[in-house]
Amino acid sequence: MKLPSLRIPRGLRGFESGLAEVFDVTLANGRVASVEPAVDASALRGTLISCPVDAHVHLDKNYTVREVGPASGDLFAAIGRMERHRALWSVEDIAARMERALLQAWRCGTRALRTHLDWPGPEAPRALAAFEQARERWRGRLELQFVSLTPLNAFADAQAGERIAQAVRRAGGVLGAFVYRNEGLVHKLGRVFDLAQEHGLALDFHVDEGLDADATGLRAIAQLTISRGDRRPRVMCGHACSLSVQPPEQAQGTLQLCAEAGIGLVALPTTNLYLQGAWDSTPVPRGITRLREAAAAGVRPMLATDNVQDAFYPYGSYDLVETFGLGVQMAHLAPAADWLGTITTHAAAALGLGWDGRIAPGCPADLVLLAAQGEYELLDAEGRARTVIRAGRVLPSEPESKEPPA
């Protein structure tokens, strides 16, 4: 299959392009066979990117807003509502909602997702069984990872923490925690790091998800990561909203530590825009972390979906390209094409995927052809229209069934 006259954003090029800006791409045997300067650069057809990677979602909570109601800007009210509702979930319920989400993500072009699973105590949640079913069902189509989402204070109980870490290791997951202005913060975080090192686990934190300037979990995580030296685990941090309201010098110092530690930073524009800031007036703080400053400091920032139609965010979908557009507008990420790594290459590296998402001869032909012919069409509805290519084959625009394709 030949895909003629396409733009490939510079950050997604894994080949020497010289002065060329428009390319002809040939696919064969499920891979990119060649990338050459276009024979007819004037006949531009669109923008080619690698299939996106969603680095932070919640497949266990989604599509529950009709039952629990929206929290309307109150993070801890949302947490409480979901805790009460979670007791009613069955493996079958969760599996059905996960399948709905994964089908949508697949059709929108996403190739990998990392989901956080609520894990409040030492016993593995029902959601883990549902996730394991989904991971097996989608094997070879979507790469799925999970993170145990546990309140940091739960790790004060050494036995509980050990049981969680053992279960996460057995299931091939990532160890995680919810961190926000905890007493004894460094001590409890240190225990999580100890468990990660003892069990060979990566770490992924919900951190500083609020607009309190004294929330400094991100800094503590970066310092602990650095202190572990060569034995440091791979670490990702999501949210870090408090960074946006801290003095610039303080925020800059934290980001420099994150860069030294090699921490991946994920912003979640839909949920944080909905949950952070006042609801009795138009909110002035936007609730998004300092993405531009992070990139300037050497941190590779990401944008991800987070919640979909639950108490934390009652709207949304698993269209990561649409979420990217919101992030570009919220954080003034310009030129937008220069930030496509936030949903492709940066996320692929942070999740440790086998392909870094750069397009080059020999790479997988898992691609998304956007109709956008240039920078200023990337965010409009027509520009986001896309052709999804999986293993070198065009995905039909309309599903023939609700079964994942073989």
DSSP 289-302: --HHHHHHHT--EE
**Pair type for strands 174-179 and 143-149:** parallel
Q: Which residue has the tokens 């919900």?
A: 206
Token pair in block for residue 17 = 């392009």
Q: Which residues of the chain have pLDDT under 70?
A: 398-406
Q: Catalytic positions, please?
A: 209
CATH class given for the domain over 53-343 = alpha beta
Please give the Cα distance from 112 to 55 (Å, whole number).
8
How far CA 8 is from CA of 15, 45, 70, 252, 384, in Å, comes to: 11, 11, 40, 32, 15
Nearest to 149 by CA among 168, 162, 166, 170: 168
How far CA 353 is from CA of 3, 102, 103, 309, in Å, comes to: 25, 18, 21, 28
Q: Note the CATH architecture for domain 2-51+357-394.
A: Roll (2.30)
Q: Which residue has the tokens 């299931």?
A: 171
The answer to whether 362 and 31 have CB atoms below 8 angstroms apart is: yes
How far CA 238 is from CA of 50, 154, 241, in Å, comes to: 23, 19, 9
H helices present in 43-172, as ranges: 65-68, 75-86, 91-108, 126-137, 158-170
Please give the Cα distance from 183 to 129 (Å, whole number).
33
Structure confidence at residue 73 (pLDDT): 84
Please give the Cα distance from 109 to 96 (Å, whole number).
20
Q: Which DSSP letter does residue 47 get?
A: E
Sketch the domain layout of the chain as residue ranges. Answer: 2-51+357-394, 53-343
How far CA 191 is from CA of 154, 166, 203, in Å, comes to: 11, 14, 12
Q: Which DSSP letter does residue 364 get?
A: B
Count other C-beta atoms under 10 Å from residue 42's C-beta: 7
Token pair in block for residue 8 = 């490939």
Structure confidence at residue 389 (pLDDT): 98
